[in-house]
A and B are shown apart, each in its own frame.
Chain A
Amino acid sequence: MPKEQANWSPYDNNGGSCFAVAGADYCVIAADTRMSTGYNILTRDTQKSVNYKCVMASSGFQADVKALQKHLAARHLIYQHQHNKQMSCPAMAQLLSNTLYYKRFFPYYSFNVLGGLDNEGKGCVFTYDAVGSYEKVGYSSQGSGSTLIMPFLDNQLKSPSPLLLPARDAVTPLAEAEAIDLVKTVFASASERDIYTGDKLEIVVINADGIRREYMDLRKD
């Protein structure tokens, strides 16, 4: 007798892309603002990123993304009460990984990139899968447009292999303004071919002066 299949899924994919790149003293995190389901657009103006001292951008199932963000916000508050300071980027990275793995057998359908400055002020980007496997990298993209974005970044940013010895720095030598230009180019191109990416681009830049947000329009079709 053929196995019975479920006639509904607890997950949905709301599409979208997100991306982060680390520089010598800055970090740029970007995500589009389109939320879709199937071939329809739900909203052109959603926020996929959230701030602590570092910024997390997520794509995938937005309900799980929201739940994950709320969870981390609560844990971050507890940390601040106990330690009298905000969580550093590496600390948040580990917390996110643990939180994701906690739901290993009913995962958060959320593909995340976490970007910020490490304890020395250098940019750092962490990239995750849905169950918390993570790695510190120089740049990363997740979401529906990542298949279009990643190869382009590999070509432009030429990150050294993490297997090389002595360990090479993964951060890009680009200046902050150049990195932001790169982000804009990348998303503009992704919006051309990926139907789930578009509307508006939210860019968050973290540097020694703090965190600032910028917006750029993308194709609306």
Chain B
Amino acid sequence: MFRNQYDTDVTTWSPAGRLFQVEYAMEAVKQGSAAIGLRSKTHVVLGCVNKANSELSSHQKKIFKVDDHIGVAIAGLTADGRVLSRYMRNECINYSFTYESPLPVGRLVVQLADKAQVCTQRSWKRPYGVGLLVAGLDESGAHLYYNCPSGNYFEYQAFAIGSRSQAAKTYLERRFENFTDSSRDDLVKDAITAIRETLQGETLKSSICTIAVVGVGEPFHVLDQGTVQQIIDTFEIAAEQEDPATEPDAATGQEAATEQGTAADQGGSTDEGAAPMDI
């Protein structure tokens, strides 16, 4: 990976037209523990894997409530995520104060994206090393956005970020067409299943994952551990019965998808044409 010549600061272009510091920031997101989001017409569910430094410490908070109608899950440098959440909360409070109505999610993500872009064009700053999955409700329904360190943002039906997120993405790709009309509870189950995919064999317990929901008539809140454990218990039993049938499907599906996945992830180093920021 010899791209060291043009990566000293963010305001230096490489001859291939890339900003390596920004790409390195996107790498930081990939190194963080997984976060996933999925939405239906009326609800959005966010989930994340809780990683603790050691058995003795508590895990990092990765899901933040921004307002009653907006929440965010982060992956990457959680300190940067905390700072950005504080910014988002302030923006929501100030907007409500002035306009007596909730800040539309679409506006918030643009503001976030612009804030991130500034850090890619100042020599004395560095890009935020955190990817944000912003879940929110506005007049046109439920939305899920992904904000990158590059300053780009996209709207998604479902997405996963962080380490081993490809497994979750594969699962979501298979199922996303059903999400629009999913019920809230099915959406939560799908979220937990997607998280289980990222654990790759590790037992799924409510202590290592966090789930949050926002929906029409349901302000953003994090589900408590007891509720999550109950849901896990219900479908662990079902999954055991289904396992023999689905395993061949999962194996072939994953092979095809992981090839595409790794190509996309390493698109930066091997594929000269497409810089990751363009995707």
Interface residues of A in 62-76 (CB under 8 A from B): 70, 74
Interface string of A48-89 (1 = CB under 8 A from B): 000000000000000000000010001001100100000000
Contact status A74-B89, CB under 8 Å: no
Give Cα A70 to B98, complex, Å: 10
Most B CB contacts (10 A, CB to CB) among A74, A78, A81 go to A81
Among B65, B94, B96, B97, contact of A81 (Cβ-Cβ < 8 Å):
B65
In Å, the complex CA distance between A198 and B96 comes to: 32
Tell me the complex Cα distance, A81–B89, Å: 8
CB under 8 Å from chain A, chain B span 53-86: 65, 86
| Residues in A whose Cβ lies below 8 Å from that of B199 | none
Are the C-beta atoms of B97 and A78 separated by less than 8 Å?
no
Residue of B nearest to A80 (CB): B65
Could you say which residues of chain B place their CB within 8 Å of the CB of A81? 65, 86, 89
How many Å lie between the Cα of A77 and that of B89 in the bound state? 9
Q: Does B93 contact A (CB under 8 A)?
A: yes
Can you name the residue of chain A whose Cβ is closest to the Cβ of B64? A81
| Nearest-neighbor residue (CB-CB) of B98 within chain A | A70
Query: Which of B65, B86, B97 makes the CB contact (< 8 A) with A74?
Result: B97
A70 vs B97: C-alpha distance when bound (angstroms): 7
A200 to chain B, nearest CB (A): 24
Residue in chain A with minimal CB distance to B94: A74
Chain B residue contacts of A77, Cβ below 8 A: 89, 93
A36–B90 alpha-carbon span in the complex (Å): 35
* A215–chain B nearest beta-carbon distance, Å: 24
In the bound complex, what is the Cα–Cα distance between A77 and B68 (angstroms)? 10
Instruction: Give the docked Cα–Cα distance between A81 and B67 (Å).
Output: 9
Alpha-carbon distance A81/B86, docked complex (angstroms): 9
B residues near A78, Cβ cutoff 8 Å: 89-90, 93
CA distance in complex: A77, B65 (Å): 11
How long is the Cα–Cα vector from A70 to B86 in the complex, in angstroms? 20
CB-contacts of B72-127 with A (<8 A): 86, 89-90, 93-94, 96-97
Determine how close the nearest CB of chain B comes to the CB of A150; give it in whole angstroms: 34
Inter-chain contacts of A74 with B (CB < 8 A): 93-94, 96-97
- Measured CA separation A74–B94 after assembly (Å): 8
User: What is the minimal beta-carbon distance from B40 to any residue of chain A, in angstroms?
Assistant: 27
Residues of A within 8 A of B94 (CB): 74
Residues of chain A within 8 A (CB-CB) of B65 are 81
- Residues of chain A within 8 A of B96, CB atoms compared: 74
Which A-chain residue is minimally distant from B96 (CB atoms)?
A74
A residues near B90, Cβ cutoff 8 Å: 78
Docked CA distance A70–B65 (Å)? 20
- Taken together as a complex, chains A and B put the C-alpha atoms of A81 and B96 apart, in Å, by 15
Give, as a whole number of angstroms, the nearest-CB distance from A83 to chain B. 13
Q: Bound complex: CA of A166 vs CA of B94, how far in Å?
A: 47
Question: B93: which A residues are within 8 A, CB to CB?
Answer: 74, 77-78
User: How far in angstroms is the closest Cβ of chain A from B174?
Assistant: 36
Give the complex CA separation of A81 and B97 in angstroms: 16
A74–B90 alpha-carbon span in the complex (Å): 9
- With a cutoff of 8 Å between Cβ atoms, the chain B residues found around residue A70 in the complex are 97
What is the interface of chain B, defined by CB distance below 8 A to chain A? 65, 86, 89-90, 93-94, 96-97
10 further interface pairs, Cβ-Cβ under 8 Å (given A74-B96, A77-B93, A78-B90): A70-B97, A74-B93, A74-B94, A74-B97, A77-B89, A78-B89, A78-B93, A81-B65, A81-B86, A81-B89
Closest 6 CB pairs of A and B: A74-B93, A81-B89, A74-B97, A77-B93, A70-B97, A78-B93
13 CB-based A-B contacts, threshold 8 Å:
A70-B97, A74-B93, A74-B94, A74-B96, A74-B97, A77-B89, A77-B93, A78-B89, A78-B90, A78-B93, A81-B65, A81-B86, A81-B89
